[in-house]
């Protein structure tokens, strides 16, 4: 069997269950996969259990062959393509069909005419015509979904029409139409980020190809670009891939992706992301992420998930609203039995909780997600906002998060009298120059400043989280961490222990170079702490964070120095990347609500494990599905902004929730005891709903 691995573990004439290996992939969103599989003809439902790697299909006809064909061929590109298709439909629907004021105008016209026309037949005709869409929708919803707020609203208007109380019917209908228009307008506006990101991608790009022994530039469809290709981008063009610059200088406008208004100068070794525009210059880019793995495609994945995800507070509001519909209806029934007063019944039916409860919460979440997106902060959904709000422990990976990640060579030491410092640096740079790791880039940059002379070497082996290995003049060269050279490669450090310890005590980060199974020398590097790191830590504590933690591979002495300077509460040093996730889990087991902030490269397990994972932009796939929040700008201050937005959003939602329950309970009580007429109830109830919606639309503001 080619393609994805799956196994049918159970089946009947109308149901089948499969074990599906692709569900192990953390990048596969089960909601998107579910919708993709539901498109199979005759499939009536799909249920996915990602933890159990299980998919259960129910169908009206046996379509096992079609199901298995679909499972065999599905991949992340096809899923993201299905998002694009749905998004383009959504976008065209929203952008071409603006929210209409037709219903508001018709209901308002009927309301105004009723005050001037004294003919009952004409008033009845106007009122009935204006209310017909509501009455039809309410009737359909009654049979399809049972008792809902729409059913109660249409019943209230219908009773007013039967009583020939056209003022009440028209007033209620006008308020409902206005509320619906505001809701549609809100959804239309809150999806603007999705609309912007769903614009057509770059269709073609120039790529270097070898023909007849010569390198030429060819225009190829973007989907044909492969990882490792050299993509050539000229002024005025949109960058089609995520990658590193291998040649050229340019001015790149990143406003569409990071919100930075000023173009940035980019040069060799710098990272660029898809969707940004090259304003001046010309670049050759080594393609690191292409197709479905590019930043723009991952962002679409984020937005698609976030706009459809429901948080626990949203589900709570929806459940409460649904439970209160029978309460409202029951009070109306009791009132009629006791008072035989249809006016009071109509008034009670107006005072329904559902509108404000169901609408204000998702609108507030959408408003925040959209606002954060334009600030260069991608929040995956409402659940991520909730988790970020409750996070009381922030764990930071040091390099590239608390620090700039831009290393500089500050000292080269040779431990062999036959090798000068320049030769040690040239050997290291020659080995490292094909890699875009921050350490490698710093070494190559320093070598070029000193007049880089390339040394011939054999093929280089890159060993993740350790270093590199090659051969020069038939001797093995190993470059990397002390653990790599001393423990894995068995190189003796004892002869140079005093010099090494002195450098470490001075807070230097050391890169070790081994040649012919001896320690040839060290290169000391420095990584500057971000200018606003200390301020960001202070601000997080002001926002309710009780505990801050730093994780680093640095020696303990240096790690403690950095932590003391920044005001970090707890430090874990000399770590391997695999250690980070276990520390996150340990703190979660202690009952902490953990947010993990990392660069998204070696931190994926920790990002997944934490209650909320925050991925820094630099040096990482900025929209990795492992993170709940992904920063598009290289600024630790954005972590504070995300936390502030989450706190304020949840405060706004709780305020709206309490106001909804309190105000509507008072309105319902007043209507039940006959204190409010249907018109007054309609104005109070719908006015409250509109006010809460407008409050949610306004959303929250950052303190800048």
Rounded distance, CA 330 to CA 307, Å? 35
Beta bridge partners of 287: 243
State the Cα angle at 496 between 492 and 499, rounded to 5°: 145
- What pairing do the DSSP bridges indicate for beta strands 547-551 and 570-572? parallel
SS3 540: helix
- What pairing do the DSSP bridges indicate for beta strands 393-397 and 377-379? unpaired
SS3 278: strand
Contact 173, 132 (CB under 8 A): no
Select from 243, 337, 191 the least CA-distant residue to 619.
243
- Radius of gyration (C-alpha) of the chain in whole angstroms: 31
pLDDT of the residue at 304? 54
Contact 113, 174 (CB under 8 A): no
Full 3-state SS string of 3-52 = CCCEEEEEECCCEEEEEEHHHHCCCCCHHHHHHHHHCCCCEEEEEEECCC
Select from 74, 600, 8 the least CA-distant residue to 298.
600
Rounded distance, CA 378 to CA 258, Å? 10
Burial (CB < 10 A; 0-12, 13-18, 19+), residue 485, is buried
Contact 269, 446 (CB under 8 A): no
Contact 299, 276 (CB under 8 A): no
Q: Which residues contact 609 (CB under 8 A, 6 or more apart)?
A: 581, 584, 585, 588, 596
Backbone angles phi, psi at 273, to 5 degrees: -125, 150
The helix, strand and coil proportions of the chain, stated in percent and rounded to the nearest 5, come to 50, 20, 25
Contact 40, 66 (CB under 8 A): yes
**Hey, which residues are catalytic here?**
397
Rounded distance, CA 632 to CA 599, Å? 12
Segments of the chain with pLDDT less than 70: 1-4, 25-31, 76-99, 179, 182-184, 186-201, 255-262, 292-322, 353-356, 358, 436-437, 464-465, 577-578, 600-602, 604, 618-626, 704
- Cα torsion at 85, 86, 92, 94 (round to 10°)? -160
Burial (CB < 10 A; 0-12, 13-18, 19+), residue 187, is middle
Contact 29, 301 (CB under 8 A): yes
Contact 33, 79 (CB under 8 A): yes
Residue 237's region, left for phi above 0, alpha for psi from -120 to 50, else beta, is beta
- pTM for the whole structure: 0.63
Segment holding 622, helix H or strand E: none
Select from 292, 276, 193 the least CA-distant residue to 240.
276
pLDDT of the residue at 512? 96
- What pairing do the DSSP bridges indicate for beta strands 393-397 and 594-598? parallel
- Cα torsion at 257, 260, 265, 268 (round to 10°)? -40
Query: Residue 480 to residues 444, 453, 464: CA-CA distances in angstroms?
Result: 15, 21, 10
Structure tokens, 80: 């993201």
Segment holding 183, helix H or strand E: helix 166-190
Tell me the torsion sign for CA atoms 495, 501, 502, 507: positive
Contact 239, 285 (CB under 8 A): yes
Backbone angles phi, psi at 290, to 5 degrees: -130, 165
Tell me the torsion sign for CA atoms 134, 137, 143, 145: negative
pLDDT tens for residues 486-515?
Answer: 999 999 999 999 999 888 877 788 999 999
Domain architecture of the chain: domains with CATH: 6-74 (3.30.70.100), 204-237+242-289 (2.70.150.10), 377-402+529-647 (3.40.50.1000), 405-528 (3.40.1110.10)
pLDDT of the residue at 689? 78
Burial (CB < 10 A; 0-12, 13-18, 19+), residue 266, is buried
């Amino acid at each position: 069997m080619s393609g994805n691995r799956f196994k049918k573990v159970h089946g009947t004439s109308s149901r089948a269950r499969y074990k599906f290996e692709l569900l192990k992939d953390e990048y596969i969103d089960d909601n998107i996969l579910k919708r993709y599989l539901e498109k199979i003809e005759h499939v009536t439902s799909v249920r996915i259990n990602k933890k159990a790697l299980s998919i259960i299909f129910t169908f009206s006809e046996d379509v096992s062959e079609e199901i298995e064909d679909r499972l065999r061929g599905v991949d992340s590109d096809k899923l993201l393509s299905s998002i694009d298709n749905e998004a383009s439909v959504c976008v065209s629907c929203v952008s071409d069909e603006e929210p209409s004021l037709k219903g508001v105008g018709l209901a308002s016209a009927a309301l105004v005419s009723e005050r001037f026309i004294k003919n009952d037949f004409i008033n009845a005709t106007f009122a009935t015509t204006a209310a017909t869409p509501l009455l039809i929708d309410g009737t359909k919803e009654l049979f399809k979904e049972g008792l809902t707020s729409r059913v109660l609203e249409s019943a209230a208007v219908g009773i007013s029409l039967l009583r020939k109380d056209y003022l009440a019917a028209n007033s209620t209908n006008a308020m409902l139409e206005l509320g619906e228009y505001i809701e549609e307008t809100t959804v239309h506006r809150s999806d603007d980020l999705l609309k912007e990101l769903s614009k057509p991608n770059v269709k073609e790009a120039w790529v270097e190809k070898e023909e007849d022994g010569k390198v030429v530039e060819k225009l190829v469809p973007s989907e044909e670009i492969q990882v490792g290709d050299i993509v050539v981008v000229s002024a005025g063009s949109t960058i089609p891939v995520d990658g590193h610059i291998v040649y050229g200088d340019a001015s790149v406008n990143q406003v569409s992706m990071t919100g930075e208004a000023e173009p940035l100068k980019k040069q060799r070794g710098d990272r660029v992301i898809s969707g940004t525009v090259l304003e001046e210059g010309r670049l050759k880019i080594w393609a690191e992420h292409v197709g479905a793995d590019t930043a723009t495609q991952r962002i679409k994945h984020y937005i698609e998930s976030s706009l459809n995800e429901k948080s626990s507070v949203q589900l709570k509001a929806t459940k409460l609203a649904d439970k209160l519909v029978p309460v409202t209806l029951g009070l109306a029934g009791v009132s009629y039995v006791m008072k035989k007063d249809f006016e009071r019944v109509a008034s009670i039916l107006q005072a329904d909780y559902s509108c404000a409860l169901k609408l204000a919460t998702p609108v507030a979440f959408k408003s925040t997600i959209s606002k954060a997106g334009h600030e260069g902060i991608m929040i995956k959904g409402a659940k991520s906002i909730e988790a970020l709000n409750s996070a009381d422990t922030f764990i930071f990976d040091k390099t590239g998060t608390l620090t700039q990640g831009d290393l500089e060579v500050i000292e080269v030491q040779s431990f062999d009298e036959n090798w000068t410092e320049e030769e040690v640096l040239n050997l290291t740079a020659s080995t490292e120059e094909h890699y875009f790791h921050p350490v490698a880039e710093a070494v190559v940059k320093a070598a070029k400043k000193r007049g880089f002379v390339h040394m011939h070497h054999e093929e280089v082996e890159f060993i993740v989280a350790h270093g590199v290995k090659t051969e020069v003049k038939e001797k093995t060269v190993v470059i990397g961490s002390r653990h790599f050279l001393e423990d894995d490669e068995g190189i003796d450090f004892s002869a140079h222990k005093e010099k090494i310890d002195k450098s470490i005590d001075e807070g230097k980060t050391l890169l070790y170079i081994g040649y012919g199974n001896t320690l040839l020398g060290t290169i000391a590097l420095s990584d500057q702490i971000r200018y606003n790191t200390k301020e960001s830590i202070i601000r997080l504590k002001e926002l309710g964070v009780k505990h801050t933690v730093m994780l680093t591979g640095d020696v303990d002495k240096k790690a403690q120095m950095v932590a003391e300077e920044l005001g970090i509460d707890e430090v874990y040093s000399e770590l391997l990347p695999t250690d980070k996730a276990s520390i996150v889990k340990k703190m979660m087991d202690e009952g902490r609500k953990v947010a993990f902030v990392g660069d998204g490269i070696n931190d994926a397990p920790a990002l997944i494990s934490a209650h909320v994972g925050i991925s820094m932009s630099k040096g990482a796939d900025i929209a990795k599905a492992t993170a709940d929040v992904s920063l598009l700008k290289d600024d630790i201050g954005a972590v504070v902004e995300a936390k502030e937005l989450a706190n304020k959003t949840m405060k706004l939602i709780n305020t709206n929730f309490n106001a909804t329950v309190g105000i509507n309970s008072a309105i319902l009580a007043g209507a039940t005891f006959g204190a409010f007429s249907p018109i007054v109830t309609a104005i109070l109830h719908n006015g409250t709903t509109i006010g809460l919606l407008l409050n949610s639309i306004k959303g929250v503001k950052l303190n800048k």
